[in-house]
Amino acid sequence: MKTRSKHAELFKKFVFFLEIETLDGTFITIRRSVDASSKLSFVRHDARWQDYTDASASEWNHENVPFEAGRQLLDGLLGLNAIKPWSFRIPVGYALRTQNDFTSVFQLSKHSGPHRDWKPYIAHILGFDWELVELGFDLVEQIEELKETIATLRLELGSSEIDLDQIRGLIEIKKKEVTSLGNAAEQFDFAIQDDSINTNIVEKLDKAIAELNTERYLLSRTRKRLVESLQAEKIQFRPEVAKKLFEEAGIVFPGQVVMTFPPLIDPRRVRESQPG
């Protein structure tokens, strides 16, 4: 890379071609030039060792595709669904090895950085759950952060006039958290996270129940007030007016008024006057 940058004029006219055999037995030729390195061209063909150095624009299935779109297109053309969510560049990197890369079965010399950059992929192609591997690395990072926090607290305690017994107790709690997280990282035991989720669910349910109880109490109070207000309403009855109305009805509708006025104001006489 440094050589190409230093002698850019010497490599400017170089155009590289790569022929790849796909899983279905067909082939893909990829073209990429130094002068326009951000563009890719693709063509599919049935026979191997085809020469497309002088191919016209119409012969390419996809010509001068932007690099990122070309990488996604090549993922689809190669059909490497088994390595998702990684792109084709990862397995190609494992296939193209130097002599030094054979000293270790899985870790290549180029993987001198963090193990989380390549171990999840190896776990995936070996049939393991790569997400658990990544979660394991997350737990390790949390453990290191807790260790740093404990170290910081210890330094701060050296010049502070506080309750040392209380601080020792807090440190012991943190130590237990570190130990628990360490065991979870080694054994992939995620019951700790499940317990935290269960606790959150219980707290939410308790809050919802409290809110519903409050609402039920308010509704009960409202119902009680409505019943009391209805019971307080009394029909205002004026006997003189009612008696006069019965007398007038007896004159206008003789023989049709079946009940006289006295039973109306005496409920016992009303029951006695009813048949059967």
- The verdict on 180 and 197 lying in the same domain is no
- The verdict on 6 and 73 lying in the same domain is yes
**What domain range is 151 assigned to?**
138-187
Peptide bond into 85 cis (omega under 30): yes
Answer whether residue 118 is part of any domain: no
- The verdict on 18 and 31 lying in the same domain is yes
For 245-271, write each residue's pLDDT tens digit: 766 666 555 555 555 556 655 655 544
Average pLDDT over residues 189-209: 71
**End of a domain among 79, 97, 125?**
79
Average pLDDT over residues 38-67: 89
- Of the two residues 270 and 173, the one the predictor is more confident about is 173
- The verdict on 219 and 245 lying in the same domain is no
- The verdict on 25 and 6 lying in the same domain is yes
pLDDT for res 19:
92
For 156-172, write each residue's pLDDT tens digit: 666 555 566 677 777 88
- The verdict on 39 and 9 lying in the same domain is yes
- The verdict on 41 and 12 lying in the same domain is yes
Answer whether residue 152 is part of any domain: yes
Answer whether residue 177 is part of any domain: yes
- The verdict on 7 and 75 lying in the same domain is yes
Six token digits for residue 26: 């067909």
Asked if 136 contacts 188 with a C-beta cutoff of 8 angstroms, the reply is: yes
What are the distances in angstroms from CA 236 to CA 239, 263, 265, 269? 10, 18, 13, 21
Mean confidence (pLDDT) of the chain: 76
Answer whether residue 208 is part of any domain: yes
SS3 content of the chain, % helix, strand, coil (to 5): 60, 10, 30
**Tally of domains in the chain:** 4
- The verdict on 222 and 260 lying in the same domain is no
For 111-158, write each residue's pLDDT tens digit: 766 788 788 888 888 888 888 988 988 998 899 888 888 888 777 666
Question: Would strands 62-66 and 39-45 be described as parallel, antiparallel, or unpaired?
Answer: antiparallel
Answer whether residue 56 is part of any domain: yes
Answer whether residue 160 is part of any domain: yes
**End of a domain among 79, 99, 124?**
79
Answer whether residue 251 is part of any domain: yes
Angle 227-230-235 (CA atoms, 0-180°, nearest 5)? 155
Highest mean pLDDT among 77-86, 122-131, 267-276: 122-131
What does pTM read for this prediction?
Answer: 0.41
Percent of the chain topping pLDDT 90: 8
- The verdict on 182 and 195 lying in the same domain is no
What's the N-to-C CA distance of the chain in angstroms? Answer: 115
Asked if 20 contacts 28 with a C-beta cutoff of 8 angstroms, the reply is: yes
- The verdict on 206 and 177 lying in the same domain is no
Answer whether residue 154 is part of any domain: yes
